């Protein structure tokens, strides 16, 4: 499972394999985040590996919290993935591109070799 991070003003959500199915690590990260100043609410779900933090609202606070999670090994930047919708749209675009190209090539080969050459020119 890759890491996932979503930041909105006042809210940070991280999904990480480090705490997934690991109640001990989930309790550690929960206690660590609750001890940080400026944090209003912490919700840690060991079943899904999700950490949700509500805080004062500034982007600097989100970056500070994320930095602590990175330093403690709960989040690795190299494993961060794109939003699922971006991946879906990327795969959809690639598939549509292949279909269109296939249709163009098929149409080009319908006629004689001369019509194919005319198509290329």
Does the pLDDT value for residue 83 go beyond 60?
no
Please, which residues have CB within 8 angstroms of residue 102's CB and are 6 or more apart in sequence? none
pTM above 0.85, yes or no: no
The number of beta carbons lying within 10 Å of the beta carbon of residue 3 is 20
pLDDT given at position 1? 47
Q: 23-29: long-range contacts (C-beta < 8 A, 24 or more apart)?
A: 25/74, 29/69, 29/72, 29/74
Does the pLDDT value for residue 11 go beyond 80?
yes
Cα distance between residue 12 and residue 63, in whole Å: 9
Which numeric CATH code is attached to 4-79?
Answer: 3.30.70.100
Three-state secondary-structure class, residue 22 = coil
**pLDDT tens profile 21-53:** 999 999 999 999 999 988 999 999 999 999 999
């Amino acid at each position: 499972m890759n890491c996932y991070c979503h930041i909105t003003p006042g809210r940070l959500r991280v999904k990480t394999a480090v705490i997934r199915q690991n109640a001990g690590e989930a309790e550690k990260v929960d206690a660590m985040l609750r001890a940080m100043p400026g944090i209003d609410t912490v919700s840690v779900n060991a079943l899904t590996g999700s950490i949700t933090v509500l805080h004062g609202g500034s982007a600097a606070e989100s970056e500070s919290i994320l930095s602590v999670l990175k330093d403690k090994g709960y989040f690795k930047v190299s494993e961060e993935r794109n939003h699922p919708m971006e991946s879906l749209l990327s795969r959809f675009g690639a598939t549509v591109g292949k279909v269109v190209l296939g249709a163009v090539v098929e149409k080009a080969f319908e006629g004689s070799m001369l019509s194919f050459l005319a198509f290329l020119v």
